[in-house]
Structure 1
Amino acid sequence: MTTRVLPAVGDPDAARAVTTLLGQLPDTEPALPVPVGDSTTLIDTLARSAAVSVDELPEVVLVHERIGPVPALDLIREVALRFPAVAVVLLTADTGPGLYSAAMDSGARGLVGLPLSYEELAQRVHSAAAWAAGVRRHLGQGGDGPTGPGGTVVTVSGAKGGVGTTVTAVQLALAARASGRSTALVDLDLQAGDVASYLDVQFRRSAVDLAAIQDLTPRVLQDALYTHPTGLALLLAPADGERGEEVTDRSARQIVSALRHRYEVVVVDCGTQMGSANAAAVEMADTAVLVVTPDVVAVRAAKRLVRLWDRLRIRKAEDTTTVVNRHTRNTEIQPSLVEKITGTRTARTAVPAAFRELQPYVDSGRMHELEAKSAVKQALWALAGELDLVKAPESAADRPGRLRGDRGAAGLRRARRK
């Protein structure tokens, strides 16, 4: 059996050395593309493969100690959580017991010292590949473990304050839940988050309670979540904004990964101020939504934010979906112009300007009771469908007990009378 190995090495010289040595290992072939140069590309590559089949994933991933922008141990933890059928090996100059223990705790299957030696690399790759093969055999026999990237994570960020970020996040989550999907709504606007106010919630727990916990077990996670009457699981921002600093990028990754494996849809309200925590969420997201209003100030702010994400290697412009809120047909700035200026993909669904119909529900904290005839609700739920957050309705022909040719029970009764 041939082992596919995917190196994740940011340094060009180290990448060449790893690729050359891998080419000499028997029964081993590089997984394309080789190598990947940063953490974002690695996660995206694995996610695309997992979306096809677990068999399309490489058996072994080699993570170099200087990979970026996500630190190596955090990246290993994310790969281990999202792609449990992949064995991760850390390439590092520090092979001491402290780092070895930390790497094992993160989910690594071994360490290889730098500079690389053929014998050690061959031994670790062989051992890791055997472990991955065992996991895949177990999954093939109907194991309960997740075989792919888990649930869908969508982040909602605002180009500037007041563009409707939280309304968008709340309605996307409500739409997903109403369609029958298990859904979590996370408020990572850590200093000024208002999800609790929009949904009339008073709850003492918040994301801060999970920040210092190394192992987020289902029980620990559940204790920090509030179950809303709509069925949404809420992870709220802290009541004291200064405590938001306790949620680091590392803890945000751990929180989002844990939620991804528990819920089919995870919607994250990232607010408008970018910190390390919500930047990590945007990087991890399957879909990153950027909310903008059709005015010059907001569009310029969106362009700046998209460029910031690109410079920091958080997310590429073409991988960002921009949603135009408060849209009117007679405004000079239309979605096509927003797309051209920002370089993003603009959603087909634009949200109309209808704040008057929203105001009573916003003021009373009852956004979940917004009427079905609301133009804003209809647009945002249509957007949820465009983003594949809602479960497709079951067709009448496919429902149990239905006769395709006779239109159900009535047809069956007519057939019997005949």
Structure 2
Amino acid sequence: MGDTIKLLIADSTYEPDGSFNHILKSEGGIEIVGKVETGDRVVEMSKIIKPDVVLLDAEIEGLDAMEAVRHLLNNDPNVLVVMVFTEKNKTYVKRAMASGARDFLVKPFTVNSLIDTVKSLYELDKSRREALRAETGGKNEEKEAYDFRLPTESKIITLFSTKGGVGKSLIAINLAVSIADKTKKKVALVDLDLMSGDIALMLDLYPKRTIVDMVKDMNGIDKDTLQEYLVHHSSGLSVLPAPISPEQAEYVTSNSLEKIIYILARSYDYIVIDTGPSFKEVNLTALDMSNHILFVTTLDLPSVKSSRVGLDIMKKLNYEDNKVNLILNRYSKKHGISIKDLEKTAKKSILNVIPMDDAIAISSINTGAPFMLNNSRKPIAKKISEISDFIIQGK
């Protein structure tokens, strides 16, 4: 008889009866070792029970399911997560797989479909691990586990907007500089505006490699070779540049970005990501993996309107309210739209208001010198400093 597969169920609406449990064990070799009803609880219980497989409802209460997957894998990179969807929410399958889930079921499902899914997934993973042991003599098992855990001490901050031209990249650069200066820790800045990212240009850097090269060479990258793909700024930042041309954007997928973030998190305490203005799958991966999302907008009418739409989408994506923070950039009383108008329309309070200062901003871009370095006492810099304090203190 084969191994008994330990199954932990995380679903507030699913109640397997005695006969169901008996069939699972007698015909499938699967033992239900626990049942919980919240995302927080499944993370806690998995540490104690150490299941082989977790059956996780996509609509679990408490901690968001996608966040729960990442916590489960951080605790045990070998645990196999099967997500459960309804017909209504199965459009999120791609997000679930990007977050680390290995398979999925759609409700209502039969006991036989559950057995088939769990057993096939378990046997496939078992074969993979046995092959790895045979190939390496068991020496690489620690390394494999290490490679797929996101260090909990690393912080990921993603800047996002549903509209281009709001000054998001300049904020990302100066925020990263401020964090590095205050913490004296290692900060990586990722240009994920794959179609038109200009962070390297704005920092007067001339990279030999970009994020596309890192994707192509993914399997050969480790801590030692990572630096070959980054370009280093005098402020202490390490920058992963955007593709040289827009047609190269297709090389960067959700899965490859997730691996890039894992690799960076091994070496960097803070990862600041500047995205393009869309909810494309690769941006969703960055948003999902982030500790903080800074939603940047301005007070022109199209930006205010798109902010409302974008924040509504983030609510539908089940991002926690305190994870998403609204930043108003280029503020001037002359705009005709008030801060209260924006907050009312967006249905969200503003975390910080950055004043308009075109002279400082343009000079910073044209010289490649972040204004946090040589204009740190200006109001625009002081506001960036406040945001970096917020991030560092983990509020």
Same fold (TM over 0.5): yes
Paired amino acid for 1:116: L
Whether the 8 Å contact between 1:306 and 1:316 is mirrored in structure 2 is no
Match of 1:187, SS?
strand
Match of 2:385, SS?
helix
Shift of 1:305: 2.2
Match of 1:288, SS?
strand
Deviations 1:96-130 (A, max 9, x none): xxxxxxxxxxxxxxxxx952349x77x969x99xx
Structure 1 position 232 matched with structure 2 position 251: no
User: Among residues 300, 322, 326, which one is paired with 1:322 in the alignment?
Assistant: 326
Structure 1 position 183 matched with structure 2 position 187: yes
Distance in 2, matches of 1:375 and 1:193, equals 26
Paired amino acid for 2:357: A
User: Among residues 251, 262, 272, which one is paired with 2:267 in the alignment?
Assistant: 262
Structure 1 position 69 matched with structure 2 position 73: no
User: Among residues 328, 340, 343, which one is paired with 1:339 in the alignment?
Assistant: 343
Q: Report which stretch shifted further, 187-196 or 282-291.
A: 282-291
Match of 1:115, SS?
helix
Equivalent runs, 1:337-416 vs 2, <5 Å: 337-347=341-351, 349-367=352-370, 369-388=373-392
Whether the 8 Å contact between 2:232 and 2:238 is mirrored in structure 1 is yes
Structure 1 position 201 matched with structure 2 position 205: yes
TM (norm. structure 1) is 0.66
Q: Report which stretch shifted further, 200-209 or 331-340.
A: 331-340
Which consecutive unaligned segments of at least 5 residues does structure 2 have? 1-5, 40-55, 130-140
User: Among residues 288, 306, 310, which one is paired with 1:305 in the alignment?
Assistant: 310
Shift of 1:238: 1.4
**1:105 alignment counterpart:** none
**1:41 alignment counterpart:** 64
The CA RMSD measured in Å over matched residues stands at: 4.4
Distance in 2, matches of 1:153 and 1:291, equals 16
Whether the 8 Å contact between 1:189 and 1:273 is mirrored in structure 2 is no
Paired amino acid for 2:58: G
Match of 2:312, SS?
helix
Structure 1 position 281 matched with structure 2 position 304: no
Whether the 8 Å contact between 1:197 and 1:365 is mirrored in structure 2 is yes
Distance in 2, matches of 1:156 and 1:148, equals 21
Distance in 2, matches of 1:375 and 1:305, equals 28
Structure 1 position 116 matched with structure 2 position 97: no
**2:228 alignment counterpart:** 223
Shift of 1:387: 2.3
The size of the alignment, in residue pairs, is: 337
Structure 1 position 165 matched with structure 2 position 188: no
Distance in 2, matches of 1:315 and 1:18, equals 33
Seen in structure 2, the aligned counterparts of structure 1 residues 49 and 221 have a Cα distance that, compared at 3 Å, is same
Seen in structure 2, the aligned counterparts of structure 1 residues 306 and 73 have a Cα distance that, compared at 3 Å, is closer
Paired amino acid for 2:57: V
Paired amino acid for 1:341: T
Shift of 1:220: 4.4
Distance in 2, matches of 1:385 and 1:37, equals 34
Percent identity between matched residues is 19
Which consecutive unaligned segments of at least 5 residues does structure 1 have? 80-88, 94-112, 132-137, 393-418
Distance in 2, matches of 1:161 and 1:71, equals 24
